[in-house]
Amino acid sequence: MRAIPPGAKGSFALVVAPEHLASRFKDAILPPVLATPIMVLVMENAALNAIRDFLEPGESALGTVVDVRHLAATPVGQRVTAEAEVTHVEGRRIVFAVTARDEVEEIGRGTHERTVIDLRRLTQRLDAKAGRQRRD
């Protein structure tokens, strides 16, 4: 992993489709607004985009902590854009400030952490775990 500087920024955008609504994604009793897990997905993708250019071949970065508030509802058809900024790096752990906006207002804000991982090692661990599950 190359050094990731505090202040590195990334963004990600998504147009809210029917499958992104809480009433479809989670439960029909909910209103037809952007589901919180989809807002988090947009924020996580922004964070990954902030550090993508610093990852070496064979590396990735998995989300490990999400601490966000969903502040406002967003209807279908609106474009949601998330921004992420690296605020702290400690070894392989990266902390981000994240925000999300729809076309009218800020809809979410918080922090997110990712850990840089070696994909080969992860694959080996997952293979071993899958093998243990099959035997049980």
Residues with active-site annotation: 36, 44, 70
92 close to 116: Cβ distance less than 8 angstroms: yes
How far, in Å, CA of 25 to CA of 60, rounded?
A: 27
Please report, as a single letter, which amino acid is at residue 96. F
How far, in Å, CA of 22 to CA of 57, rounded?
A: 36
* Three-state SS at 87: strand
Residue that the structure tokens 């981000």 belong to: 96
Phi, psi of 99 (to 5 degrees): -140, 160
- Cα radius of gyration rounded to whole Å, the chain: 17
